[in-house]
Amino acid sequence: MEPSSITKWEDYTHQMGLKFGAKIHGSGMENEPRETDATPLIDTKRPRHRICKLRGTSGKEIPKLEKSHLRFGPLYCNEESSDSSLKDEAWRHLLKNSPDRAAVTIEIHLSEMRKIEKEARATYEDRLVDLLSGPEFRWMMIKDGCLFLQLVLYVLGGAQQLGYPPGRSIFGPEKNNKYNDIEKWIEAIFFVGNQIPLIVLKELMKQSYFRNVIGKGEWELPSDLCRIALYELLLLPARETHPPRTLPQRFSKKVFARANWLQKQQPSDLLHGLQLLILGPKCEGEEEEEEEEKDLEGQHELSNLQDAANIDDKISSSATELRKAGIHFRPLSCGNGSRGIYFTKSVWSCKAYPILYLPPFLVGDDTELIFQNLTHYEISQKLDKRKQEVSAYLLFMSELIRTPDDAKLFDSNGIIQGDYLKHKLKLPGILRRLAPEESYNQNLRHVKLQISDYSPPLWRKYWQIASIALIVTVLQTVYTILPYYKKKGSS
């Protein structure tokens, strides 16, 4: 069997290293062992959250990638066209616009992929990945990742920075129906299992072509959820400059702090990072469970909880009804997600009225798509209901936001955020469609119980009575004195 062009290239670079006793300049190949075409099954610790195919839910049809969707990684590449021509074009464009010679650029990318190959393979759940040879896997990561990142940068507003000539590719500025294209791209890059490991994408972003593209743009912070995820998970870590001057400095620091926290969590892929972005840091005292067996134990525990009727009770009142009862609403600070939701009613905390603190809920054209993919992601990860935290959050918000009036109330309090009112008014319907029938979340359960147990304090009732009595007394005094002055003036 004739070796592939990929294998030939790696053999060539290896022979050059043996012949001259040195690496190709900048490739990072020194002191690296020789690799064969076949890579054995890798025995390495796999992360808890792995890239896997979309799994179905009971009674619901499994969504599928359409033919028009681009495919990334090994899990869906054999089902339909692998879009190899677009990936080849994106890769050739990178080679042409990189400062080094093509051979050097190729070897640099291959070298970096070798360093992270084991970790990247371990990110995928399907053992089919281990059947790919070393060169096959590395080139898949390079070419798929190259196109993936170019799509991401285009979605973030970097059409000109990518450097494509007009009408030459899917990125050509003269191509029609750009809005529809971007919508399809967003659907593809956030689809469960259609993912490239973040460790691969971050490594590619460090290379000269993407560094040059990033350095050419201003890259303002987006306002919608999907673009914020792309910005904070991929673009912001790769930037070496300070935040844009157009942002308030205080807000910029919080954005960078949140991005730094996300990087420390080491999300496995884009959807895992998006989930962490919505959830935020864990509450104090909570520990991260990494072992898969603990989820199976949790399922048995949850069944016992269900038998004991411990599934979260629903909030009986909507946001507008709670506001009439005296409960106020405030947004949490930037960086806090659904895990930070809390309710306070203490007068001694300098609050004369109860407040429910909620994270900002960002809405836009892709709100339903993003949260639908996240709920599918949690199910596909085989998480028990205690750990399906995004689903629990959606149920919690659906109980608060039932009508457009509820959405307007949260909008006025800065909790629902978006550029257009139409997106905010659609939120009640979106939440009804996405929210599960039941959930169990310890923190949200506690908040619901606090809200249910709340009743206005006695001093507030007495204060209302005293206020009414004071108003009546003032009116009586005015009406008593007024005739006297009128009489005195006429005389």
214 inside domain: yes
Q: Which residues contact 331 (CB under 8 A, 6 or more apart)?
A: 357, 358, 359, 360, 413, 414, 415
Closest CA to 401 of 389, 413, 419: 413
- Amino acid of residue 8: K
388 inside domain: yes
Q: How far is CA 436 from the centre of its chain?
A: 20
Give the number of C-alpha atoms closer than 13 A to the C-alpha of residue 125, restricted to the C-beta side: 18
pLDDT in tens, the chain (491 residues): 444 454 455 555 555 444 434 444 444 444 444 444 444 444 456 667 899 999 876 556 677 888 878 999 999 886 555 588 889 999 999 999 999 999 999 999 999 999 999 999 999 987 888 889 999 999 999 999 999 999 999 999 998 899 888 766 676 555 555 556 888 899 999 999 999 999 999 999 999 999 999 998 888 889 899 999 999 999 988 885 444 445 544 456 777 788 888 888 999 999 999 999 999 987 654 555 444 444 444 554 554 444 444 556 677 789 999 999 889 999 998 778 999 999 987 655 445 689 999 999 999 999 999 999 999 999 999 888 888 999 999 999 999 999 999 999 999 999 999 989 999 999 999 999 999 988 889 999 999 999 988 876 655 555 556 667 677 777 777 677 767 666 666 65
- Amino acid of residue 337: G
Residues 170/171/177/180 CA torsion (nearest 10 deg): 80
Closest CA to 338 of 374, 381, 295, 373: 374
pTM for this predicted structure: 0.80
Within this chain, do residues 260 and 330 fall inside the same structural domain, yes or no?
no
pLDDT at 123: 94
Q: Is 246 exposed, middle or buried (0-12, 13-18, 19+ CB in 10 A)?
A: exposed
54 inside domain: yes
Task: Count the neighbouring beta carbons within 10 Å of the beta carbon of residue 210.
Answer: 22
pLDDT at 383: 84
Within this chain, do residues 424 and 475 fall inside the same structural domain, yes or no?
no
293 inside domain: no
Within this chain, do residues 206 and 231 fall inside the same structural domain, yes or no?
yes
Within this chain, do residues 85 and 219 fall inside the same structural domain, yes or no?
yes
With residue 203 as reference, give the H or E element that holds it. Answer: helix 198-205
Within this chain, do residues 242 and 383 fall inside the same structural domain, yes or no?
no
Domain hosting 447: range is 309-453
Within this chain, do residues 258 and 317 fall inside the same structural domain, yes or no?
no
Within this chain, do residues 382 and 481 fall inside the same structural domain, yes or no?
no
Separation in Å, CA 6 to CA 13, 27, 75, 124, 421: 11, 17, 21, 23, 52
Q: Is 392 exposed, middle or buried (0-12, 13-18, 19+ CB in 10 A)?
A: buried
Within this chain, do residues 124 and 234 fall inside the same structural domain, yes or no?
yes
Closest CA to 390 of 274, 255, 226: 274
Which residues lie across from 361 on neighbouring strands?
A: 416
pLDDT at 27: 41
Domain limit, last residue, from 241, 259, 279: 279
Within this chain, do residues 266 and 358 fall inside the same structural domain, yes or no?
no
Within this chain, do residues 93 and 230 fall inside the same structural domain, yes or no?
yes
CB 364 within 8 A of CB 423: yes
Within this chain, do residues 419 and 486 fall inside the same structural domain, yes or no?
no
Beta strands 342-344; 355-358: pairing state? antiparallel
Copy the structure tokens of residue 288: 């991260």
Q: Which residues contact 26 (CB under 8 A, 6 or more apart)?
A: 100, 104, 108
Beta strands 361-362; 416-417: pairing state? parallel
**Strand order across the beta sheet in which 328-331 lies:** 328-331, 355-358, 342-344
Give how many domains the chain has, as a whole number: 3
Cα 398–Cα 384–Cα 273 angle in degrees, nearest 5 = 70
pLDDT at 3: 46
Residues 436/437/439/443 CA torsion (nearest 10 deg): 80
CB 133 within 8 A of CB 38: yes
Copy the structure tokens of residue 287: 């520990």
Residue keyed to tokens 């201003």: 218
Task: Count the neighbouring beta carbons within 10 Å of the beta carbon of residue 16.
Answer: 16
pLDDT at 108: 96
Within this chain, do residues 182 and 327 fall inside the same structural domain, yes or no?
no
Residue keyed to tokens 């053999």: 11
3-class SS string, 88-117: HHHHHHHHHCCCCCHHHHHHHHHHHHHHHH
12 inside domain: no
